């Protein structure tokens, strides 16, 4: 049952945060959608000889996979601390994972030979808020599935 919690939590959390990112992008006329940005990073790699369209499922697959890993981190923390899923934990873990996400994106963008142009302060701020939403999404699933 734990694997179901992790998989469903990761999927729901990632979906909710990505919806938030796309909505923020629309509101502020910026590109914040993580799957699309991942596709752009892949497409612009000189060593990658495949054309990756903006709407390719590859970006979603990568993003959801990372979301499942992050859900596993939340799950492991809850088990390790013998804590039930509570909203404050979702906010706190989401914030921490958001900082990790910002560091990951900073590394990707810094070392990529041709990164997409982003307004980094705005991207990073929305990314942290998106991860707080992710954490709350994982906790929402856990509140329904926790045994």
Residue 147 reports pLDDT greater than 90: no
Q: What is the pTM of this model?
A: 0.92
Q: What is the domain count for the chain?
A: 1
Categorize the per-residue pLDDT at 45 as very low, low, confident or very high, splitting at 50, 70 and 90.
confident
Query: Whole-angstrom Cα distance, residue 88 to residue 21?
Result: 21
Going from the C-alpha of 69 to that of each of 64, 73, 141, the distances in angstroms are: 9, 6, 15
What's residue 44's pLDDT?
A: 86
User: Which regions of the chain does DSSP assign to beta strands (E)?
Assistant: none
DSSP 8-state code for residue 115? P
Tokens 């934990």 belong to 89
For CA atoms 131, 16, 3, 107, give the dihedral sign. negative
Say yes or no to pLDDT of 48 above 80: no
User: Domain range holding 17?
Assistant: 2-145
How does pLDDT run across 53-75, given as a tens digit for each residue? 877 899 999 999 999 999 999 99
pLDDT category at 87 given cuts 50, 70, 90 is very high
**22: its two tokens:** 């796309």
């Amino acid at each position: 049952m734990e694997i179901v919690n992790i998989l469903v939590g990761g999927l729901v959390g990632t979906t909710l945060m990505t919806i938030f990112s796309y909505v923020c992008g629309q509101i502020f006329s910026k590109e914040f959608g993580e799957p699309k940005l991942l596709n752009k990073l892949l497409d612009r790699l000189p060593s990658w000889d495949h054309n990756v369209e903006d709407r390719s499922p590859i970006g979603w697959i990568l993003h959801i996979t990372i979301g499942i890993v992050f859900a596993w981190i939340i799950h492991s923390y809850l088990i390790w601390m013998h804590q039930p899923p509570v909203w404050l934990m979702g906010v706190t873990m989401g914030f921490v994972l958001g900082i990790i996400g910002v560091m990951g994106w900073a590394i990707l963008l810094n070392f990529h030979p041709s990164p997409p142009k982003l307004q980094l302060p705005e991207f990073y701020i929305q990314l942290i808020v998106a991860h707080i939403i992710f954490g709350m999404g994982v906790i929402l699933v856990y509140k329904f599935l926790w045994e």
